Amino acid sequence: MISMLQIAGLVKESIVDGPGFRFVVFTQGCKHHCPGCHNPHTHSFEGGTSVSVDSLLEQILKNPLLDGITLSGGEPFEQAGVCAELAAKVHASGLNVMTYTGYTVEVIQNSSREGWRSLLGETDILVDGRFELDKKNLLLKFKGSENQRIIDVKKTLRDERVVLAEI
Protein backbone atom coordinates (compact mmCIF):
# COMPACT_ATOMS: atom_id res chain seq x y z
CA MET A 1 0.00 0.00 0.00
CA ILE A 2 1.27 3.49 -0.82
CA SER A 3 1.54 5.68 2.28
CA MET A 4 0.24 9.18 1.70
CA LEU A 5 0.85 12.28 3.78
CA GLN A 6 -1.38 15.36 3.67
CA ILE A 7 0.90 18.40 3.52
CA ALA A 8 0.49 22.17 3.52
CA GLY A 9 3.84 22.70 1.85
CA LEU A 10 7.54 21.98 1.63
CA VAL A 11 10.69 24.03 2.07
CA LYS A 12 13.43 22.06 0.41
CA GLU A 13 16.36 23.91 1.95
CA SER A 14 16.09 25.72 5.28
CA ILE A 15 18.54 26.93 7.92
CA VAL A 16 15.87 28.31 10.29
CA ASP A 17 13.88 25.16 11.11
CA GLY A 18 16.50 23.31 13.13
CA PRO A 19 20.26 22.81 13.16
CA GLY A 20 22.10 22.58 9.86
CA PHE A 21 20.58 22.33 6.43
CA ARG A 22 17.09 20.86 6.46
CA PHE A 23 14.19 19.73 4.27
CA VAL A 24 10.98 20.90 5.94
CA VAL A 25 7.62 19.17 5.61
CA PHE A 26 4.64 21.23 6.78
CA THR A 27 1.87 18.77 7.54
CA GLN A 28 -1.77 19.74 7.04
CA GLY A 29 -4.23 19.68 9.94
CA CYS A 30 -3.93 20.98 13.49
CA LYS A 31 -6.41 20.95 16.36
CA HIS A 32 -4.49 23.28 18.68
CA HIS A 33 -5.60 26.64 17.17
CA CYS A 34 -3.00 28.59 19.14
CA PRO A 35 -3.84 32.32 19.11
CA GLY A 36 -1.20 34.09 17.01
CA CYS A 37 -0.27 30.97 15.03
CA HIS A 38 1.81 31.87 11.96
CA ASN A 39 0.38 29.05 9.85
CA PRO A 40 -3.43 29.21 10.19
CA HIS A 41 -3.85 27.79 6.66
CA THR A 42 -2.46 24.49 8.02
CA HIS A 43 -5.28 24.02 10.58
CA SER A 44 -7.97 22.56 8.32
CA PHE A 45 -8.01 18.79 7.89
CA GLU A 46 -9.67 19.27 4.49
CA GLY A 47 -6.96 21.34 2.80
CA GLY A 48 -3.46 20.71 1.57
CA THR A 49 -2.00 18.29 -0.94
CA SER A 50 -1.56 14.56 -0.72
CA VAL A 51 1.98 13.27 -1.35
CA SER A 52 3.47 9.82 -1.03
CA VAL A 53 6.21 9.04 1.48
CA ASP A 54 8.33 7.65 -1.34
CA SER A 55 8.11 10.81 -3.43
CA LEU A 56 9.11 12.89 -0.41
CA LEU A 57 12.01 10.55 0.27
CA GLU A 58 13.14 10.79 -3.34
CA GLN A 59 13.21 14.59 -3.11
CA ILE A 60 15.08 14.45 0.21
CA LEU A 61 17.73 12.01 -1.00
CA LYS A 62 18.34 14.10 -4.12
CA ASN A 63 20.05 16.75 -2.00
CA PRO A 64 23.43 15.58 -0.65
CA LEU A 65 23.83 18.75 1.44
CA LEU A 66 20.97 18.01 3.86
CA ASP A 67 21.60 17.24 7.54
CA GLY A 68 18.05 16.13 8.13
CA ILE A 69 14.36 16.79 7.83
CA THR A 70 12.00 18.81 9.99
CA LEU A 71 8.38 17.76 10.41
CA SER A 72 6.37 20.87 11.16
CA GLY A 73 2.80 21.93 10.86
CA GLY A 74 0.14 21.80 11.22
CA GLU A 75 0.49 19.03 13.75
CA PRO A 76 2.68 16.09 12.63
CA PHE A 77 1.27 13.88 15.41
CA GLU A 78 -2.19 13.98 13.74
CA GLN A 79 -0.57 11.89 10.97
CA ALA A 80 1.90 10.16 13.25
CA GLY A 81 1.99 6.78 11.51
CA VAL A 82 2.88 8.15 8.08
CA CYS A 83 5.30 10.70 9.57
CA ALA A 84 7.00 7.88 11.49
CA GLU A 85 7.35 5.86 8.30
CA LEU A 86 8.98 8.80 6.52
CA ALA A 87 11.21 9.49 9.55
CA ALA A 88 12.35 5.85 9.69
CA LYS A 89 13.33 5.93 6.01
CA VAL A 90 15.13 9.23 6.51
CA HIS A 91 17.04 7.73 9.46
CA ALA A 92 17.96 4.71 7.37
CA SER A 93 19.60 7.07 4.89
CA GLY A 94 21.75 8.61 7.65
CA LEU A 95 19.88 11.89 8.14
CA ASN A 96 18.35 13.18 11.37
CA VAL A 97 14.75 14.09 12.20
CA MET A 98 13.37 17.06 14.09
CA THR A 99 9.64 17.24 14.86
CA TYR A 100 7.52 20.17 15.99
CA THR A 101 4.39 19.43 18.00
CA GLY A 102 1.78 21.35 19.95
CA TYR A 103 1.51 18.39 22.36
CA THR A 104 3.95 18.06 25.24
CA VAL A 105 6.36 15.14 25.33
CA GLU A 106 4.64 13.89 28.50
CA VAL A 107 1.26 13.75 26.72
CA ILE A 108 2.85 11.92 23.79
CA GLN A 109 4.62 9.40 26.02
CA ASN A 110 1.43 8.62 27.94
CA SER A 111 -0.73 8.31 24.85
CA SER A 112 -1.81 5.11 23.18
CA ARG A 113 -2.78 6.91 19.96
CA GLU A 114 -1.72 5.04 16.87
CA GLY A 115 1.78 5.87 15.70
CA TRP A 116 2.58 8.32 18.49
CA ARG A 117 5.26 6.17 20.14
CA SER A 118 6.71 5.35 16.71
CA LEU A 119 6.99 8.98 15.67
CA LEU A 120 8.52 9.93 19.01
CA GLY A 121 10.99 7.05 18.65
CA GLU A 122 11.94 8.22 15.14
CA THR A 123 12.47 11.81 16.29
CA ASP A 124 15.92 13.03 17.36
CA ILE A 125 14.87 16.51 18.44
CA LEU A 126 11.34 17.35 19.51
CA VAL A 127 10.13 20.94 19.90
CA ASP A 128 7.09 20.53 22.10
CA GLY A 129 4.19 22.60 23.37
CA ARG A 130 1.66 24.97 21.89
CA PHE A 131 2.65 28.43 20.72
CA GLU A 132 1.66 30.77 23.57
CA LEU A 133 1.28 34.37 22.45
CA ASP A 134 1.94 35.87 25.91
CA LYS A 135 5.23 33.95 26.02
CA LYS A 136 6.26 34.88 22.47
CA ASN A 137 9.93 35.82 22.12
CA LEU A 138 11.43 36.63 18.73
CA LEU A 139 14.96 36.06 20.02
CA LEU A 140 14.43 32.35 20.69
CA LYS A 141 16.24 29.94 18.40
CA PHE A 142 14.05 27.36 16.61
CA LYS A 143 10.95 28.06 18.73
CA GLY A 144 8.32 30.75 19.04
CA SER A 145 7.42 31.00 22.72
CA GLU A 146 9.22 30.54 26.05
CA ASN A 147 7.10 27.55 27.14
CA GLN A 148 8.25 25.40 24.22
CA ARG A 149 11.16 23.02 24.84
CA ILE A 150 13.80 21.69 22.46
CA ILE A 151 14.15 18.11 23.62
CA ASP A 152 16.78 15.45 23.04
CA VAL A 153 14.42 12.52 22.57
CA LYS A 154 16.95 9.67 22.83
CA LYS A 155 18.31 10.94 26.15
CA THR A 156 14.79 11.68 27.40
CA LEU A 157 13.66 8.12 26.70
CA ARG A 158 16.87 6.65 28.12
CA ASP A 159 16.91 8.72 31.33
CA GLU A 160 13.10 8.73 31.81
CA ARG A 161 13.14 12.49 32.35
CA VAL A 162 12.99 15.41 29.94
CA VAL A 163 16.50 16.22 28.68
CA LEU A 164 16.88 19.40 26.66
CA ALA A 165 18.92 19.29 23.47
CA GLU A 166 22.16 21.21 23.33
CA ILE A 167 21.73 23.15 20.10
Instruction: Quote the least distance from Cβ 130 to ligand SF4, whole Å.
Output: 5
Q: Which residues touch 139 (CB under 8 Å, ≥6 apart)?
A: none
Please list every residue from 2 through 41 that binds ligand SF4, using CB under 6 A.
Answer: 30, 32-34, 37, 39
Rounded to an integer, what distance in angstroms lies between the CA atom of residue 63 and that of residue 101?
A: 26
Nearest to 143 by CA among 9, 3, 17, 15: 17
DSSP assigned state of 34: -
Is beta strand 96-100 parallel, antiparallel or unpaired with respect to 125-128?
A: parallel
Q: How many other C-beta atoms lie within 10 A of the C-beta of residue 105?
A: 20
Q: Which of 130, 150, 152, 156 binds ligand SF4 (CB under 6 A)?
A: 130
Q: How far is the CB of 132 from ligand SF4 (least distance, A)?
A: 9
Site for ligand SF4 in 40-79 (CB under 6 A): 42, 73-75
Q: Do the strands 22-27 and 4-14 form a parallel or antiparallel pair, or are they unpaired?
A: antiparallel
Which residues between 99 and 118 bind ligand SF4 (CB under 6 A)?
102
- The footprint of ligand SF4 on this chain (CB under 6 A) covers a number of residues equal to 13
CB of 74 to ligand SF4, least distance (A): 5
Q: Which is nearer to ligand SF4, 113 or 155 (CB)?
A: 113
Enumerate binding residues for ligand SF4 (CB under 6 A). 30, 32-34, 37, 39, 42, 73-75, 102, 130-131
